[in-house]
């Protein structure tokens, strides 16, 4: 099995805090969409983001620091760890 990492990092353009974003502020919002054939195995690591997997996966590994994890269908083994957030697999 070959893995192709897609590293994504965000940086704040400015140190000014938007008053509407609360005390701690928010970083940039990023949407990443990856299309794979059905029954493909995948791995995802996220610090603070929701992870949504649509379609049918083979094996899947997800590590999420905070955020919800929702997978539509997993045909193989699923290993999901989330420190904070909900985890749902609709069909296993």
pTM: 0.70
pLDDT in tens, 59-81: 999 999 888 999 999 999 999 99
In the structure encoding, which two tokens stand for residue 6, read together? 């897609």
What CA dihedral angle connects 74, 75, 78 and 82, to 10 degrees? Answer: 0
Q: Which residues span the domain enclosing 43?
A: 37-91
Q: How far is CA 1 from the centre of its chain?
A: 20
Residue 9 lies in a domain: no
**Number of domains the chain contains:** 1
Distances from the Cα of 80 to the Cα of 3, 37, 38, 48, 90, angstroms: 18, 21, 19, 15, 14
54 against 12, higher pLDDT: 54
Residue 21 lies in a domain: no
pLDDT in tens, 1-50: 566 666 666 555 445 555 555 555 556 677 888 888 999 999 998 888 89
Residue 15 lies in a domain: no
């Amino acid at each position: 099995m070959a893995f192709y990492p897609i590293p994504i990092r965000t940086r704040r353009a400015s140190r000014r805090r938007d008053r509407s974003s609360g005390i701690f502020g928010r970083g940039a919002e990023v949407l990443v969409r990856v299309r794979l054939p059905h029954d493909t195995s995948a791995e995802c690591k996220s610090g603070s983001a929701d992870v949504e997997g649509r379609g049918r996966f083979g094996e899947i590994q997800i590590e999420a620091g905070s955020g919800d994890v929702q997978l539509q269908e997993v045909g193989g083994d699923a290993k999901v760890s989330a420190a904070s957030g909900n985890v749902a697999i609709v069909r296993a």
